[in-house]
Chains A and B, each alone.
Chain A
Amino acid sequence: MRALKQHKGIVAPMDRSNVDTDMIIPKQFLKSIKRTGFGPNLFDELRYLDEGKPDQDSSQRPINPDFVLNQDRYKNASVLLARRNFGCGSSREHAPWALEDFGFRVIIAPSFADIFYNNCFKNGLLPIVLEEQIVDQLFQEAEAEEGYQLAIDLEAKTVTTPSGETFGFEVDDFRRHCLLNGLDDIGVTLEDAGVIKAYEASRRETAPWLFSADQNL
């Protein structure tokens, strides 16, 4: 996984609440057995005017000029500014894969859905929760000023505006540690293989019915 310590990038404001993962990446693209290549279909139904299909050349499709990511000033955005309950719905990790593949590294919103929030950290993507009032302010600033950028520092847990205004954010230590260092958390867990085996052995004693002797039921 790609590490993220500091990041500075153009902010794309997506002014819509309850953005669900079906909207982030529609189901027809979940048929892929790969982890990459979802970027061209990020927000497919909002970005294009036609119905998207897998393995299509998206550069030839009619685009929706009103959609935020189709506007020239946001084409190179790497920070997504969003509204309440971003990422609700399906657990599909294809959603953070698509956001990351498009070029986003940070998403800022007043709240996120739990599964999506967790999936982001596994893919080098940092979701930041800021108060609704602050998010409102950032929306106004990003829409007012072309090329508006935010600087994010995960080490210091801060977001800084171009005028130098700084907002702190919370993130739990384990997720922060893994993202700062680009760690594979399976490797970290397997350092505790002995503890897992000991738990399993005691569980076999106390709840033996959870361990089937016969695999071919």
Chain B
Amino acid sequence: MAGKTLYDKLWDDHLVKQRDDGSALIYIDRHLLHEVTSPQAFEGLRLAGRKPWRLDANLATPDHNVPTTDRARGVEGIVDPVSRIQVETLDKNCDEFGILEFKIKDQRQGIVHVIGPEQGATLPGMSIVCGDSHTSTHGAFGCLAHGIGTSEVEHVLATQCLVQQKMKNMLVKVNGKLGPGVTGKDVVLAIIGKIGTAGGTGHAIEFGGEAIRNLSMEARMTICNMSIEAGARVGMVAVDQTTIDYVKDRPFAPKGEMRNRAIEYWKTLHSDDDAVFDKVVELEGSEIMPQVSWGTSPEMVAGVGGHVPDPEAEADPIKREGIVRALKYMGLKPNMPITEIKLDRVFIGSCTNSRIEDLREAAAVVKGRKVSPLLKQAMVVPGSGLVKVQAEQEGLDRIFLEAGLEWRDPGCSMCLAMNADKLGQGEHCASTSNRNFEGRQGFGGRTHLVSPAMAAAAAINGHFVDVREMMN
């Protein structure tokens, strides 16, 4: 019998009941909540007279709607009344049901997918869900983690379980070493460019290979975060010493003898050598260039040295139509060099790229330089209050401010523009976020997905440049 994949092991360890009809009850160890996808779930509990099954599995924070300036006034500082009601509703629901919440004025507040790992609330081997598709981020810790809808948020609150069908296994292997200036973001964009936005549909992806093993936890989180942009709800990286070291001494993580016991189990969280995957995709790390998205789907990417594609060269009529539509929306011409795309704004932040390592990479590029006068705005939004504090201790805020970037308070911000941070119609943005869909960052806005280093380089130049040319 073939060995097990990491996903097989996680599935088996969380299987409560296999039903005859092929569905299964899966136990949920950690449930993260935010203000946008939870109000209807709490209301559902109330209407049915149900209570949360297990309080200590839940952790909540407001992130999508929070302003990134003027946070001293807390909830009162949210100008949009509809946004304010949503944040207040989360506060009320957490208070009423007894769920731990890092409220807007708590220093531990931040983007759910940043604070879970930061607090050690994300631990190897856990099953983790949240009403947010980027929950796949936590798979970087060898977790079974994925996004769910609001009905399932209610289901997890009420039963601590989910009804699931087992997915297929997919291995994405990145061989060899990455070149200098090539980051986790470039790796995941290159993967999506190769397999497409539906390439992982129905599969749980494990990212492996030498290049992945050599990455930091932050970079692994960036890669797993965007599994969903490859169509896979679940993305994972096997546990190794990097993982075990990262969770040490975090507030929710086990300590002392309990930690030793946990480590024994964590070390089993990798695919067996003889495990069989339903699908295997391989990339050569040395061939991955810094990436820039040119279109309105995350698969529409090119290396920074490349060109915007020509729809005439696409054989598949549905894809060709998609390219024509995307170029029209983006205001770009076929065959133009990526480096000729001019920018209006730069956004460094989001659950994909707002951790300390991301901010360090961006700061290293802008240090001693000035933001291009061609830009209307360049902003840095740290992923959590604690990331902000650490960045300030390292002096990164000074580097950004001196270069002419704005230094904001934590939240999802311009990744999806539910708060006041958004693009104007027709504006081009170099963004470290995860989605370049039409209107995502603001009505008529044009998003280009890049790494923090590439966004920083674009901020200095007012158009895309190969960040490697700016590195010593």
Contacts and interface: CB of A to CB of B under 8 A. Distances in A.
Interface of A: 16-18, 20, 22-23, 26-28, 30-35, 45, 51, 54-55, 83-85, 88-93, 96, 111, 113-115, 118-119, 122-123, 172-175, 177, 184-186, 188-190, 192-193, 195-196, 199-200, 203, 206-212, 215-217
Interface in B417-472: 417-418, 435, 437-440, 443-444
A34 B261 CA distance: 45
27 contacts: A18-B297, A30-B64, A30-B418, A33-B43, A33-B85, A45-B438, A84-B198, A85-B197, A89-B435, A91-B131, A91-B132, A93-B131, A114-B233, A115-B148, A172-B22, A185-B155, A185-B163, A186-B50, A188-B163, A189-B163, A192-B25, A196-B53, A199-B16, A200-B27, A207-B262, A209-B253, A215-B100
B25 A196 contact: yes
B97 interface: no
A177 B37 CA distance: 26
A16 B322 CA distance: 8
Contacts of A192: 16-17, 25
List the 10 shortest-distance A-B pairs measured between CB atoms, nearest first.
A209-B254, A122-B151, A93-B149, A33-B39, A173-B21, A119-B149, A91-B147, A174-B23, A91-B133, A51-B443
B265 A31 contact: no
A195 B83 contact: no
B189 to A, nearest CB: 16
A186 B151 CA distance: 9
A189 to B, nearest CB: 5
Given A22-B439, A89-B435, A185-B163, 16 more contacts: A18-B322, A20-B297, A27-B416, A30-B36, A31-B65, A31-B85, A33-B40, A45-B443, A85-B231, A91-B133, A91-B148, A114-B201, A115-B233, A123-B151, A173-B21, A196-B27
B1 interface: no
B63 interface: no
Interface of B: 16-17, 19, 21-23, 25, 27, 29, 36-37, 39-40, 43, 48, 50, 53-56, 64-65, 80, 82-83, 85-86, 89, 100, 119, 123, 125-126, 131-133, 146-152, 154-155, 158-161, 163, 165, 197-198, 201-202, 228, 231-233, 251-254, 258-259, 261-262, 265, 297, 318-319, 321-322, 325, 416-418, 435, 437-440, 443-444
Nearest to B199: A85
B421 to A, nearest CB: 12
A35 B100 contact: no
Nearest to A96: B149
Most buried by A among B82, B259, B325, B416: B82
B37 A54 contact: no
Contact of A190 (B22, B86, B159, B198): B159
Nearest to A178: B163
Contact of A186 (B23, B154, B233, B437): B154
A211 B197 CA distance: 37
B16 A31 contact: no
A85 B147 contact: no
Contacts of B83: 31
B125 A54 contact: no
Nearest to B59: A217
B17 A17 contact: no
A211 B437 contact: no
Nearest to B100: A215
B215 to A, nearest CB: 25
A195 B149 contact: no
Contacts of B39: 33
Nearest to A55: B82
Contacts of B125: 207
A156 B259 CA distance: 54
B258 A22 contact: no
Contact of B40 (A27, A34, A85): A34
Most buried by A among B55, B119, B147: B147
B165 A172 contact: yes
A93 B155 CA distance: 14
A28 to B, nearest CB: 7
Contacts of A199: 16, 27
A83 B85 CA distance: 37
B241 to A, nearest CB: 18
A189 B418 contact: no
Nearest to B148: A91
A88 B230 CA distance: 10
A174 B19 contact: yes
Contact of A211 (B40, B56, B154, B261): B56
Nearest to B232: A114
A17 B89 CA distance: 36
Most buried by A among B37, B119, B265: B37
A132 to B, nearest CB: 9
A90 B319 CA distance: 22
A195 B435 contact: no
A186 B19 contact: no
A188 B439 CA distance: 39
Contacts of A22: 416, 435, 437-440
Contacts of A119: 149, 151
Given A172-B23, A174-B19, A207-B265, A114 B231 contact: yes
Contacts of B55: 215
A51 B442 CA distance: 10
Contacts of A188: 163
Contacts of A209: 123, 253-254, 258-259, 261-262
A30 B22 CA distance: 33
A179 to B, nearest CB: 13
Most buried by A among B37, B154, B318, B418: B318
A44 B321 CA distance: 21
B37 A91 contact: yes
A26 B439 contact: yes
Contacts of A212: 56, 252
Contacts of A217: 100, 119, 251-252
